[in-house]
Amino acid sequence: MNCLMFFKMLLAFSFISLFYVGNAQQSYGNSTVSALFAFGDSILDTGNNNLLLSVSKVNFYPYGRDFIGGRATGRFGNGRVFSDIIAEGLGLKNLLPAYRDPYLWNNDLTTGVCFASGGSGLDPITARTTGSIWVSDQVTDFQNYITRLNGVVGNQEQANAVISNAVYLISAGNNDIAITYFTTGARRLQYTLPAYNDQLVSWTRDLIKSLYDMGARKFAVMGTLPLGCLPGARALTRACELFVNQGAAMFNQQLSADIDNLGATFPGAKFVYVDMYNPLLGLIINPQASGFIDVADACCCTPTHLIPCLDASRYVFWDVAHPTQKSYETIAPQIIENIKAKLA
């Protein structure tokens, strides 16, 4: 595959991912939750795409350049991704392993794993387009995980405690809006943008119900990034694509309102909406306040940056669609505190 073709595919297909589960009602190290389970897209994916025949995979250099040992693990960034940082913030572990990693250790199961898949989304068309793991299939992986967990802990009650006291982190909608609606237009003849956003919110509710029916009770549901400000979206004019941002903001508003009302639909469950749009937009608008120097360009993997920048921590974005580890670390503390406050 030539470089130009690769960049086109990466721009069109590599956006974002989702959600994690946990242990019993007690303190686990510094955490009050048992585990983290991640579902969704590349924002959370820690390597589930590595063995797929997918255009949305990054298990090669320079990805992982700033990861432990400089290894490309299938994470969509220069180092750790958002799911890793949330797991650490909850006091569970520094790295959230991918469930489809063939070398996954059994002792990692009780504190959480990642089911998210780069390029995936709520819409089945999105996953088919990118060759990623659709969220419904991620739920099937979670069912298989429960069977495996039961074998590891050897006690149904203890396994149930892990499931019910875990945090389920979901990141979806990024690729549905950015790829399936705006880039390929696969849904534009069928839906107006508000109607498509309504459908995405409904699919999110279906995903939550599937997990709830298997014992999940603590949900952290992420909104989309400011999609019109990603380097891939602003490559031609260097200005944020206003209409794309408006579409993302509209979805986030609808999603947040729905999440606020789900307690009545799912008795005993707790929910928190995780705003990704405004914290990242804040870095883009005022990068110098957090030590960044470039917001319009990516550090690497674009036609204008074939050779990666020397210091990714000075860039808000690593590639055409994904923030750097430093960006995640900058916005995460307040998000982690909010998750703790709402889901403890």
pLDDT by residue for the chain (344 residues), tens digit each? 333 333 334 444 443 333 333 333 344 444 579 999 999 999 999 999 999 999 999 999 999 999 999 999 999 999 999 999 999 999 999 999 999 999 999 999 999 999 999 999 999 999 999 999 999 999 999 999 999 999 999 989 999 999 999 999 999 999 999 999 999 999 999 999 999 999 999 999 999 999 999 999 999 999 999 999 999 999 888 899 999 999 999 999 999 999 999 999 999 999 999 999 999 999 999 999 999 999 999 999 988 788 999 999 999 999 999 999 999 999 999 999 999 999 97
Residue in 30, 16, 13 with CA at minimum distance from that of residue 76: 16
Domain positions in the chain: 3-343
Please indicate whether residue 256 is annotated as part of the active site.
no
Summarised one tens digit per residue, pLDDT across range 77-98 is 999 999 999 999 999 999 999 9
Q: Which residue has 């709520």 as its token pair?
A: 122
Q: Which residues contact 253 (CB under 8 A, 6 or more apart)?
A: none
Catalytic residue among 42, 56, 117, 313: 42
The encoded tokens of residue 179 equal: 């790829």
DSSP state of 98: B
pLDDT more than 90, % of the chain: 87
Summarised one tens digit per residue, pLDDT across range 275-325 is 999 999 999 999 999 999 999 999 999 887 889 999 999 999 999 999 999
DSSP state of 47: S
Contacts made by residues 247-253, CB under 8 angstroms, sequence distance 24+: 247/177, 247/181, 247/182, 247/193, 247/197, 248/177, 248/223, 248/224, 248/277, 249/277, 250/193, 250/194, 250/197, 251/173, 251/177, 251/197, 251/200, 251/201, 251/223, 251/224, 252/223, 252/224, 252/277
Please indicate whether residue 322 is annotated as part of the active site.
yes
The whole-model pTM stands at 0.91
**What are the phi and psi torsion angles at 119 (to 5°)?**
90, -5
Catalytic residue among 66, 258, 322, 327: 322
Catalytic residue among 31, 34, 319, 327: 319
Q: Which residue type is seen at 60?
A: F
Please indicate whether residue 290 is annotated as part of the active site.
no
Q: How far is 131 from 252, CA to CA, in rounded Å?
A: 25
